[in-house]
Amino acid sequence: MFFSVSLYIALSIFVLGLFWKISTWFRYTVGPGAREIKTSQRLFAAIKGIIVTILSPKILTLLKVFVLDVLFQRRIFVESRLRWAMHMYIYGGFMLLLLMHAFEDFITLTLFPDYASTLNPFLFLRTLFGVMVMVGLGISVYRRHILKIPRLMNNAMDHYMVIILAIIMVSGFLLEGTKVVSHTSYQEMVEDWSDVDDEESFKALESYWVEKFGVVSPDLEGPFDAEILAQGRDLHEMNCEACHSRPQWAFISYGVAKIVSPLAVSLDKAGVPTILWSLHFLACFVGLAYLPFSRMFHILAGPLSLLANAVMDRERSDPANIATRQVMELDACTHCGTCSLQCSVGVLFEQIQNENILPSEKLASVKRFTANRIAKEKDIKRIQEGLYLCTNCYNCTLVCPVGINLQDLWFNVRETFIQDGHPEVFALSTLSFYRGLRRDELDDKDYEKPLQLASQTMAEEFGLFDSQDTPIDLGSLDNSFKKDLRTSAQGSTFSFCFTCTTCTSACPVACNYDNPPEALGLTPHQIVRATAVGLPDLIFRSKMLWTCLGCYQCQEACPQGVRVTDILYALKNMAIRRVKEKT
């Protein structure tokens, strides 16, 4: 009763959760373009897309990906043999246990009418599969907690996955072990299954089981007479053998049985097997009910992501389907951290303390954001910063074992953030190059907006500078600024300048305009001059600073050895640091 009630509760939560989760794939949006597409439109597009794909030659691609990437886990294999072994052990072992053991009534019994869980090979296989899962979990704990891989983050969800699986496995082994020694279980079995009916036979059979099957009886203890054992064996062969192999085959549980056998009688009296049985099932039910909400959900979303990405691409696929896929991909992530370990800017995390630099953490934040679970302005800005600190190098997409197209995800999500009006001053850095390469995917207004916002922020932070009619605000004379620059490795030569303007004449940016001061605010030599005088505000809001190419023409031309370009870089660093500190 207790069993079936909890099973049905767990099952209903699981099914409802599944529907709810899948519905979010069609309801939530990633990226500005997706907002215009209605849920119903996305649903129809998905159904149509699936049908069309299945009826096309692409089905072969899907099959191939299913075998190689889903079943064989090719991507993890290429990445790391250790992790592949870990994943295969856990996923292989668990799946086999699920099919053979948890679904024995539906699957195993149908395939093998003589099946009994206590009979070989099933008895042995169950232990073997359980051991596989345990070994896999062991590798996972070793990798995450002992190997100490830098920038491999663990979160509560990772711990939950390991713990719930470990509880299921360990309780299973303990349950089996205590059942081996349990006299109560033995008696129930004899009552239910045997036709032994006289006292003497009972005794003989029990002696045989105590001797050979590890049962601990409160009344009988070896050594037994050979005669009694022989009689017991005959009875065993008649009544029990068809369903029972020797428990030694379940080598883990048998070890447990041996260890607990001195306490077996009291354990049995205290009803420990029943308690373990409840624990085992409850853990399974909790795992089941919570599955759609936990990262275990990748069992479903991961393969879907692999399959979808194998047949979809940005240019040809229906935007409605891409919108759906991108939300689904958030559920597919296993938080394995591979992407972060291979990330081209991952090491930056040691310098700029923002975990959103790491793609695996970035994705987790984006997922929370998409589900509207991030409200704080501060957190939003941190995610945005992490999204901008990315060179679009493609490494993460290449290595992701569930095939998430992280490239497109970052691009779309970044647009959502930076167009929603939080200024990002990193947009004034070379990191914008990659965004520029995809500008044809955006309309010009959306494309320019974050850039304007960033320049505006610089102007606002460091005094307004909009047109010729407003008198130029000279900013504060700032001596700490000069000191900063003098100590920075690059900046200290500015005091040699005698304002010959050679640098400005050599500068291709200054030369590009008829009236450089008007177009750029300051020219290179004016920036050097303003540095010497101590007018950071004036420099920080000048367009020249943010359009400097770093081409070193000015620096090479300077007769005084002023490291003009290096000074400009140092100034950019300072301006960005000041804005980031303030906002």
Residue the block writes with tokens 């081996």: 180
Minimum CB distance to ligand SF4 smaller for 292 or for 346: 346
CB 548 within 8 A of CB 509: yes
Under the rule (CB under 6 A), what is the footprint of ligand SF4? Answer: 333-339, 343-345, 359-360, 363, 390-396, 400-402, 404, 406, 497-503, 506-509, 524-525, 528, 548-554, 558, 560, 562, 564-565, 568
What is the residue type of 307? Answer: L
What is the residue type of 340? Answer: S
Q: Which does 564 bind (CB under 5 to 8 A by kind): other proteins, ligand SF4, none?
A: ligand SF4
Q: Which does 489 bind (CB under 5 to 8 A by kind): ligand SF4, other proteins, none?
A: other proteins
CA dist 326 and 160 (Å) reads 25
Nearest Cα to Cα of residue 332 among 306, 366, 365: 306
Q: Is 573 in the site for other proteins (CB under 8 A)?
A: yes
Mark the segment that binds other proteins (CB under 8 A) among 107-115, 166-174, 280-288, 387-395. Answer: 387-395
Minimum CB distance to other proteins smaller for 165 or for 575: 575
CB 419 within 8 A of CB 454: no
CA dist 401 and 408 (Å) reads 16
Nearest Cα to Cα of residue 137 among 164, 157, 111, 174: 164
Q: Which does 525 bind (CB under 5 to 8 A by kind): ligand SF4, other proteins, none?
A: ligand SF4
Binding footprint of other proteins, residue count (CB under 8 A): 62
Helix (H) or strand (E) holding 491: none
Q: Is 394 in the site for other proteins (CB under 8 A)?
A: yes
Listed in sequence order, the DSSP H helices in 312-466 are 319-332, 338-342, 359-370, 377-388, 395-399, 406-419, 432-437, 444-461
Which tokens sit at 189?
């079995």
Which tokens sit at 42?
């996305």
Residues 324-363 that bind other proteins (CB under 8 A): 341-348, 350-352
Other beta carbons less than 10 A from residue 155's beta carbon: 12
Which tokens sit at 510?
């200054």
Contact residue for other proteins among 50, 131, 393, 532 (CB under 8 A):
393
Other beta carbons less than 10 A from residue 23's beta carbon: 12
Q: Is 565 in the site for other proteins (CB under 8 A)?
A: yes
Q: Which does 350 bind (CB under 5 to 8 A by kind): ligand SF4, other proteins, none?
A: other proteins
Secondary structure class of 509 (helix, strand, coil): helix
Mark the segment that binds other proteins (CB under 8 A) among 371-379, 385-393, 457-465, 476-484. Answer: 385-393
Minimum CB distance to ligand SF4 smaller for 8 or for 394: 394
Which tokens sit at 446?
């959306």
Minimum CB distance to ligand SF4 smaller for 121 or for 436: 436
Residues 454-493 that bind other proteins (CB under 8 A): 488-490
Which tokens sit at 582?
């303030």
CA dist 471 and 469 (Å) reads 6
Minimum CB distance to ligand SF4 smaller for 23 or for 391: 391
Nearest Cα to Cα of residue 301 among 326, 337, 319: 326
Residues 411-440 that bind other proteins (CB under 8 A): 426-437, 439-440
Q: Is 239 in the site for other proteins (CB under 8 A)?
A: no
Q: Which does 222 bind (CB under 5 to 8 A by kind): other proteins, ligand SF4, none?
A: none
Q: Is 221 in the site for other proteins (CB under 8 A)?
A: no
DSSP 472: P
Minimum CB distance to ligand SF4 smaller for 474 or for 549: 549
Question: Could you report how far apart the first and last alpha carbons of the chain are, in Å?
Answer: 59
Minimum CB distance to other proteins smaller for 189 or for 341: 341
Q: Which does 253 bind (CB under 5 to 8 A by kind): ligand SF4, other proteins, none?
A: none
Contact residue for other proteins among 109, 142, 150, 193 (CB under 8 A):
150
Q: Give the shortest CB-145-to-ligand SF4 separation in angstroms.
A: 17
Which tokens sit at 426?
């990193």
Nearest Cα to Cα of residue 450 among 493, 411, 421: 421
Contact residues toward other proteins (CB under 8 A) are 149-150, 341-348, 350-352, 389, 391-395, 398, 407, 426-437, 439-440, 451, 488-490, 508-509, 512, 543, 546-553, 555-556, 563, 565-566, 569-570, 572-573, 576-577
